[in-house]
Amino acid sequence: MTSENGGGSPTDGADDPPDTEGSDGTDPDGKAGGSDPDDAIAPNRNALWARALVDELAAAGVERVVFAPGSRSTPLVVAAARHPDLALLSHLDERSAGFFALGIGRRTGTPAALVCTSGTAAANFHPAVIEANQARVPLVVCTADRPPELRDSGANQTIDQEKLYGDAVRWYRDLPEPEATPRKLRRLRVDAARAVGTATGTPAGPVHLNVPFSKPLEPVPVPGDVPEDLADRDPGAVHGREGPFVERHANPPAGDAGASEVADLVETADRGLIVTGPADAPPEGFPALVDLARATGFPLLADPLSGVRFGSHVDDAPVVGGYDGFLDPALTGGWPAPEVVLRVGASPTSKPLRKYLARAADRQVVVDPAGGWREAEFAATHHVTADPDALARSVLAEADLSDDEAAAVDSDWRDRWLSAERAHWATVEEARGAGVGSADPTGPGGDFGGDPFEGAVLAAVVEAAPDPSTVFVSNSMPVRDLDRFARPRAVDLTVLGNRGASGIDGIVSTALGCGHATEDPLTLVTGDLAFYHDMNGLLALGRLDVEATVVVVDNDGGGIFHMLPIEEFDPPFTEAFRTPHGLDFEPTADLYDLSFRRTDPGDFEAAYRDAVDGKGSTVLSVEFDAAGSHRTREAIQERVVERIRDDGA
């Protein structure tokens, strides 16, 4: 927050409009124009304006207003506080507030309104706005601003907020200055409806309303500011309607364009794949696409963030989750290529999968409801703008797959994938069960290098997490380890991450925003750097009453760099890349009044179950040696590939 503002009465601000110069704003019991202010439409134009805006946001579906305290945003905050259907959520650090609001939209698909005062407060939202844009998360940003005459004047806490987020928002509008006229109020109500409509459109994303206010910012009566007959002249403009000012209905793209061609591709292919990348918000799975996988027998490669890796369909659909571990060119080089690949969602987390898809298929169909081209190997041969599930239904109807479930599939092809899948998970289970971590190279874990590996944490979490619950993972290694070590399961897990821009910023807050938005128990699995980056976000636990189990996979900074060739160049590797920080996060327990528990990798699963069963929030820290963990990770992969080769695949 940037709670910067001048003191004194509301009428001596640099930005007072001349017409309020004479009002006595300091007396809340003052009379507006001689009449009782309680009878007045609103004490002043700012209050009327903010109420109309906030009312319409709520009518359009917004349920939560996240803000960081400041002065210029006072009319908006007061209006939100007085609205019976809005939860007003106060953070202190705008960057954390931004990601907290992002988490609400991420988990639910309903945007939070995100409010700040003027100045750099708004710039602190920028990372969350970019993530919302790229991950298609609805978000309505309302930045209070100084009035136009103060912009570029040297006035205090005044920056250029116009188009502050550039092309990262779906819609931007610099609202006019508040005016108590029917025309302006109608446009304002329409703008609020449009803001929510655009944020929740296809694709969903952030919108930005810049909202200038002159003083007085408080709901003090300003005689004559709001004409007494305004509501008589246009009740709709002043009080809105029962329900939203404009009832919105938006249809995503529909129709069958492309369906016949895709049906033909599917029907004639012996070897096909369906790939579900990270889902847009909220993740709702792709039931028809799963049906298509069942009907064709095409392996369904499910990113852990796709909404498809977990769920009851896993029991009877050919869901594959181990690809990140077995798609080794040394192995797949001997495999026949798929004839067709259907791709939905964002670009998959798994680099081995992306590389495999770049090399593999003659026909790759990218399906995106918003017409996005989310495929960075430039291997797509077909592009269909359609809801993936609607397209799958059309394909199921058009393709001749009904009589024999496996009619379209080469069963060797399917078996090859399912057998590789089994080999992967069997090996992972061996590694987990063999007491990796005994540090004895001749012991049972010796086959895997003897070092505990971070992936075991992710494997354990998806096994032990409550059903249903929400699991949020940070970028860098946790999401990769999730991808490789989290076995598909028939449970109701909502697994989320910030894969839009894949930053390590704002992770704690995004997760806690998800937790605030549902009744689900929440687990966050984060690396130590992401945890550190957004420690301020922990404030929401107590302040906004969120409960979470936070698992910190602590390798003292930057384990991911052990995967990169820069490791060979030291210096500058250790100092400039591995980034050891030596931080012990235990003091966060006292700072934020949470339980902090340190556990050995070997005891992690039991400690995690305890934490989840207990009341209140726990930070569970598990220390790893990044280099050792990486060695074990590689050893497991080698073992998987060997095993599949031994199986003759």
**How far apart (Å, rounded) are the C-alpha atoms in residues 477 and 287?**
29
Q: What residues between 517 and 546 interact with its own copies by CB under 8 A?
A: 529, 532-533, 535-536, 539, 542-543
> Using CB under 8 A, which of the segments 428-436, 473-481, 489-497, 609-617 binds its own copies?
473-481
Q: Does 590 bind its own copies (CB under 8 A)?
A: yes
Coil, strand or helix: which one is 103?
A: helix
Token digits of residue 371:
């017409």
Task: Figure out which of the listed residues 5, 181, 419, 438 binds its own copies, where binding follows CB under 8 A.
Answer: 5
What b/e string do you get for 376-415 counting C-beta neighbours within 10 Å, with b at 16 or more? eeebbebbbbbbbbbbbbbbbebbebeeeeeebbbeebbe
Phi-psi region of 157 (alpha: psi -120 to 50; beta: other; left: phi over 0): left
> Using CB under 8 A, which of the segments 334-342, 408-416, 437-445, 564-572 binds its own copies?
564-572
Token digits of residue 387:
């809801």
Q: Does 375 bind its own copies (CB under 8 A)?
A: yes
Token digits of residue 83:
């609205």
* Three-class DSSP labels, 184-207: HHHHHHHHHHHHHHHHCCCCCCEE
Cα dist. 26→12, 220, 338, 622 in Å? 11, 7, 74, 55
Task: Figure out which of the listed residues 56, 451, 505, 556 binds its own copies, where binding follows CB under 8 A.
Answer: 505
Q: Which residues pair with 366 in a beta bridge?
A: 343, 383
Q: What residues between 64 and 93 interact with its own copies by CB under 8 A?
A: 67, 69, 71, 74, 77-78, 81-82, 88, 90, 92-93
Q: How far is the CB of 504 from its own copies (least distance, A)?
A: 5
Q: Check: CB of residue 412 under 8 Å from CB of residue 404.
A: no
Contacts of residue 584, Cβ cutoff 8 Å, sequence gap at least 6: none
Q: Does 45 bind its own copies (CB under 8 A)?
A: no
Q: Does 406 bind its own copies (CB under 8 A)?
A: no
Q: Which residues pair with 472 in a beta bridge?
A: 496, 524
Q: Does 30 bind its own copies (CB under 8 A)?
A: no
Nearer of residues 286 and 577 to its own copies, judged by Cβ: 577
Nearer of residues 236 and 569 to its own copies, judged by Cβ: 569
Task: Figure out which of the listed residues 216, 285, 307, 513 binds its own copies, where binding follows CB under 8 A.
Answer: 216
Q: Does 220 bind its own copies (CB under 8 A)?
A: yes
**How far apart (Å, rounded) are the C-alpha atoms in residues 280 and 303?**
13
Q: Does 10 bind its own copies (CB under 8 A)?
A: yes
Q: What residues between 318 and 347 interact with its own copies by CB under 8 A?
A: 346-347
Nearer of residues 9 and 595 to its own copies, judged by Cβ: 9
Nearer of residues 64 and 499 to its own copies, judged by Cβ: 499
Task: Figure out which of the listed residues 372, 435, 443, 444 binds its own copies, where binding follows CB under 8 A.
Answer: 372
Q: Does 355 bind its own copies (CB under 8 A)?
A: yes
> Using CB under 8 A, which of the segments 200-208, 303-311, 433-441, 553-561 binds its own copies?
553-561
Nearer of residues 121 and 458 to its own copies, judged by Cβ: 121
Q: Check: CB of residue 127 under 8 Å from CB of residue 102.
A: no
Number of residues that bind its own copies (CB under 8 A): 120
Q: Does 26 bind its own copies (CB under 8 A)?
A: yes
Radius of gyration of the chain (CA): 27
> Using CB under 8 A, which of the segments 279-287, 396-404, 445-453, 571-579 binds its own copies?
571-579
Task: Figure out which of the listed residues 86, 101, 112, 217 binds its own copies, where binding follows CB under 8 A.
Answer: 217
Q: How far is the CB of 558 from its own copies (least distance, A)?
A: 5
Q: Check: CB of residue 510 under 8 Å from CB of residue 502.
A: no
Nearer of residues 167 and 242 to its own copies, judged by Cβ: 167
Q: Does 18 bind its own copies (CB under 8 A)?
A: no
Q: Does 574 bind its own copies (CB under 8 A)?
A: no
Q: How far is the CB of 472 from its own copies (least distance, A)?
A: 16
Token digits of residue 628:
């050792």
At position 75, the amino acid (one-letter code) is P
Phi-psi region of 450 (alpha: psi -120 to 50; beta: other; left: phi over 0): left
Q: Does 452 bind its own copies (CB under 8 A)?
A: no
Q: What residues between 140 and 199 interact with its own copies by CB under 8 A?
A: 149-150, 152-160, 163-164, 166-168
Q: Does 381 bind its own copies (CB under 8 A)?
A: no
**Contact pattern for its own copies over residues 287 through 316, marking x by CB under 8 A:** ------------------------------
Nearer of residues 8 and 34 to its own copies, judged by Cβ: 8
Q: Does 576 bind its own copies (CB under 8 A)?
A: yes
What b/e string do you get for 238-270 counting C-beta neighbours within 10 Å, with b at 16 or more? bebeeebbbeeeeeebeebebbeebbebbbebe
Q: Check: CB of residue 204 under 8 Å from CB of residue 109.
A: yes
**How far apart (Å, rounded) are the C-alpha atoms in residues 248 and 460?**
44
Q: Does 377 bind its own copies (CB under 8 A)?
A: yes
Enclosing H/E stretch for 212? strand 206-212
Strand order in the sheet with 618-623: 493-497, 469-473, 522-527, 549-554, 618-623, 595-599
Nearer of residues 37 and 297 to its own copies, judged by Cβ: 37
Q: How far is the CB of 69 from its own copies (least distance, A)?
A: 4
Q: Does 28 bind its own copies (CB under 8 A)?
A: yes
